[in-house]
Amino acid sequence: MLQKLNFRPGFNKQATASGAESQWIDGDFVRFRYGLPEKIGGWQQLSLDDKTLPGVARAVHNFTSLAGEAYTAIGTSQGLFLYYDESFFDISPLDTALTSCTFTTTNGSATITINKTSHGLQAGRYITLSSVGSLPGGGATSFTAGVLEKSYEILTVATNSFTILASATETGTGMSAQGSTSVNPYAIIGPTIQTIGYGWGTDAYSAGTWGTESSVSDVTLDPGNWSLSNFGQVLVATIHNGKTFTWNAGASSARSVRAASNTSGFSVTNNPTQSVMTIVSDRDRHLFHMGTETTIGTGSTQDPMFVRFSNQEDLNTYTPTATNTAGTFRLDDGNEIVTAVQGKDYILILTDTAAYVVQFVGPPFTFSVKQVGTNCGCISQHGAVYAQGAVYWMGKAGGFYVYDGTVKSLPCLVEDFVFTTDGDNLGINFGSSKTVYAGHNSLYTEVNWFYPKSESVQIDRCVTYNYAEGVWTTSSLDRTTYIDAGIRDNPYATDYVDNRTPDFPIQGITNTYGATFLYSHENGTDQVNADGTTSIDSFIRSGDYDITNTRDIADLRGDGQFFMSVRRFIPDFKVLQGNSKITLFINDYPNNTATSSPLGPFTVTSTTDKIDTRARGRLVSIKIANDSTGESWRYGTMRLDARPDGRR
């Protein structure tokens, strides 16, 4: 007797497999459209020439110049970079230069020693060399200014010198504290991980490697992070708890210029020097500093609940006067401002406990500030995203929220799986929760939250809410940033590999801080990058099904009273590219471990009419999967030939 198996869309991980009859309970790399599950789209690496960036990406932002040039800005734990026209560009801001440095080299070696008394730099920090001159003649060195004026990683340090690795070896007799150069250190952004009980300013600077955490109590070290927004064609980039920089896409030779505090007429020299984050208000064009200094330029006055905004159409004026719109205010509910998101005609500020709406009202008050939610704090700086008229975020203590005029808690059938570690739940690592990143995929009406599971210090899981269908899924998609299509035709996202050596832009670089891939998503069926093409192995699994009632047999009553014999099934796919594999899992009782039917898994092609099976059990569930490149599928339904086969 053929019976159609119908399943409700979305995952239900709150119930047991037996309790989730007619529902899906697990899966990976799948989504729902029109109530049906399908494999997600593939992704392809961008910038195959430059390949990977140093550090872990923590922020991404798309914007265009007035000339129509499309840019993607990527802020990592090690620098600030642009993707444009299939290439990367390094626009990382620099700290104060060390001048009058000299070189020491040895014939046959690519190692260069740079001499500078009490330089104060640490191993692992990036630098650039500029103003190289006074190189000795007479065959002392084969290095030229053009070869040396690049970016490097510091390999070893001594009090009055440090070493770097050049791209070529010295073929001359060698230099001994000769020549001259300026050393320009990259601005410090922060570590690749969030650490509790460790921090800058302990013994990391006097012992060990720059960026290496050292033991100290009562210190929480936030991961290196950025906030990125644009003021027209000007990129505004702020280091988390640090300075603000600009980069002007319309400037002459812009891509060869670094972000700085004063670039091509867009100075931010009067900006606060320590802010949690910044955001440009779209309609009225003010630059907001969240969690910033009460006295500009005095870092010790940073107040995590204090907000400062610039004069309208002016990135560099913050002193309120009778003739401008600059101003300040302080929020009351919470311990710190966590993030701020631009909505349709407002900015939603989320603290660790509350939600506030800030709206432009014009002179004399400029902005109205209204608290709209309590006990709804956000988990991370990038843990909230605006999508289709609403702001969605992950709660600091768990749960999900939406603001669409009022703050609401989102019902979630995967909540325990995401936030607890009971049973098979993978649970978030709250000790690394400040790395959580929310991204909107408008192509499929999805909001994704990428997060680190328990015991992980980097993002390795994803939970997705389809707001059009009101369903949830989970996956192992591990993206440290994600940005919607719009300026770009596809969503862009970054993937971090902690032990990989980056390719761009540092000479003599190591794998100390890992490397970041930039991908274009919803492209093809597979992962395509510089290493080759890899299958995206997706699957979805249902809850248990049993024989409950048959009109033709009077004594069949109850739920799961009889064993069933499954002799065949008829698959039905809306889309099937390549092969798909269907597994029937059977067991006798809910507490038993389900096992595959003897002949399974079964390979299904576009020409498969039916499949004969030998499956017997009280309960049966199905799994749909693929495991090869070039494969994609969208499920339709399935019919089982299931018959009663005794009571035990």
Q: Of 73, 76, 93, nearest to 192 (Cα)? A: 76
Is residue 283 situated within a structural domain?
no
Q: Is residue 623 part of a domain?
A: yes
The whole-number mean pLDDT for each consecutive block of 10 residues of the chain, a chain of 648 residues, reads 88 93 96 97 95 98 97 98 97 98 98 98 97 97 97 98 97 98 97 70 37 43 96 98 97 94 93 98 96 98 98 96 96 98 96 98 93 98 97 97 98 98 94 97 98 97 98 98 97 98 97 98 97 98 77 51 84 96 91 86 94 88 96 94 74
Residue 198: per-residue pLDDT: 46
556 and 626 together in one domain: yes
Final residue belonging to a domain, choices 162, 185, 208: 185
Domain-terminating residue out of 185, 216, 239: 185
Short-list 128, 90, 145, 127, CA closest to 257 = 90
Residues 33 and 105 placed together within one structural domain of the fold: no
Largest CA distance in the chain: 106
* Residue 290 covered by a domain: no
- Amino acid in position 621: S
The parent domain of residue 613 ranges over: 2-40+537-644
pTM equals 0.94
The CATH number of the domain holding residue 157 is: 2.40.30.20
Residue 9 structure tokens: 């869309």
Q: How far, in Å, CA of 400 to CA of 377, rounded?
A: 10
SS3 256: helix
Q: How far apart are CA 79 and CA 267, in angstroms?
A: 20
Q: How many CA atoms lie within 13 A of 529 on its CB side?
A: 19
The verdict on residue 458 lying in a domain is: no
Q: Are residues 541 and 636 located together in one domain of the fold?
A: yes
Whole-number pLDDT of residue 207 = 36
32 and 124 share a domain?
no
Q: Which residues contact 570 (CB under 8 A, 6 or more apart)?
A: 2, 609, 610, 611, 638, 639
Residue 502 tokens read as: 């980056």
For residue 56, give every residue at least 6 positions away whose Cβ sits within 8 Å of its Cβ, in sequence order, or none. Answer: 76, 77, 192, 223, 224, 458, 480, 496, 498, 513, 514, 516
Question: What pLDDT is attached to residue 648?
Answer: 59
Q: Are residues 32 and 115 in the same domain?
A: no
Same domain flag for 29 and 105: no
Under 8 Å between Cβ of 324 and 379: no
Q: Where residue 13 sits, what CATH number does that domain have?
A: 2.60.120
In a domain, 21, yes or no: yes
Last residue of one domain, picked from the residues 132, 152, 185: 185
Residue 365 lies in a domain: no
Residue 308 identity: R
Q: Is residue 366 part of a domain?
A: no
**pLDDT number for residue 200:** 38
153 belongs to a structural domain: yes
Same domain, 552 and 618: yes
* Number of domains within the chain: 2
Of 480, 432, 484, 483, residue with least CA distance to 453: 432
